[in-house]
Amino acid sequence: KAGHPMLSVTIDQRTGTMQVTQARWERTTGSSAFPGIWDIPITWTREGED
């Protein structure tokens, strides 16, 4: 796939939920619409949890 994945993360401190969205970023054009997605492993821990 051309470009690189750019992730945006929003965390609701009240509920502890996290929303992750993905867009394609290209050095020459910046962010752009892209119908595909990358499989990106994500690990999330909160303070005080193992």
| pTM over 0.75, yes/no | no
Do residues 6 and 22 make contact, with C-beta atoms less than 8 angstroms apart?
A: yes
Beta-bridge partners for 8: 21
Closest to 27 (Cα-Cα) out of 8, 49, 3:
3
Residue 46 has pLDDT above 70, yes or no: yes
Residue 3 has pLDDT above 90, yes or no: no
pLDDT value of position 31: 65
For the segment 20-40, what is each residue's pLDDT rounded down to a tens digit?
Answer: 998 888 777 766 666 678 899
Q: Domain coordinates of the chain in residue numbers?
A: 1-26
pLDDT value of position 24: 83
Residue 10 has pLDDT above 80, yes or no: yes
pLDDT value of position 5: 86
